[in-house]
């Protein structure tokens, strides 16, 4: 028989829910869930920000690599010193 860690059955979940109700009371549970929801939302927003930053960096890297490739095809210099001279 396979035993999965943290694999809860129906009755285990019911017992845990009853213990939570006894410890926190019926009035505190909505407040706890609201705080948990805010935390999850904040985490998702942070993950989305990181993903968008990575995509922006990837776009910048791709565009600069394409510019270097185009310059090489045209026979232009692609060194950093040449870029500074052009600016």
Whole-model pTM: value is 0.49
In a domain, 83, yes or no: no
The number of helix segments (H) and strand segments (E) in the chain equals 2, 0
What is the pLDDT at residue 46?
A: 95
Show the low-confidence residues of the chain (pLDDT under 50). Answer: none
The residue behind tokens 């990575």 is 54
Total count of domains within the chain: 1
User: Which is nearest to 31 in space by CA: 20, 42, 44?
Assistant: 20
pLDDT given for residue 40 in this prediction: 94
2 within a domain of the structure (yes/no): no
Q: Is residue 57 part of a domain?
A: yes
pLDDT score, position 43: 95
**Which pLDDT does position 38 carry in this prediction?**
95
Question: Does 26 map to a domain?
Answer: yes
Q: Residue 19: which domain range?
A: 10-76
Count CB atoms within 10 A of the CB of residue 83.
13
What pLDDT shows up at residue 31? 87
Instruction: Tell me, yes or no, whether 56 lies in a domain.
Output: yes
Q: Is residue 3 part of a domain?
A: no
Q: How far is CA 22 from CA 30, 32, 60, 62, in A?
A: 14, 14, 55, 57
The confidence score (pLDDT) of residue 22 equals 87
5 in any annotated domain: no
Q: Is residue 4 part of a domain?
A: no
């Amino acid at each position: 028989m396979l035993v999965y860690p943290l694999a809860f059955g129906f009755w285990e979940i019911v017992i845990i829910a009853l213990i939570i109700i006894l410890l926190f009371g019926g009035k505190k549970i909505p407040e706890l869930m609201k705080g948990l929801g805010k935390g999850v939302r904040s985490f998702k927003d942070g993950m989305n920000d990181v993903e968008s930053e990575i995509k922006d960096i990837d776009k910048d890297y791709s565009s600069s690599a394409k510019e270097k490739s185009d310059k090489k095809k045209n026979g232009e210099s692609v060194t950093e010193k040449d870029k500074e001279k052009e600016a």
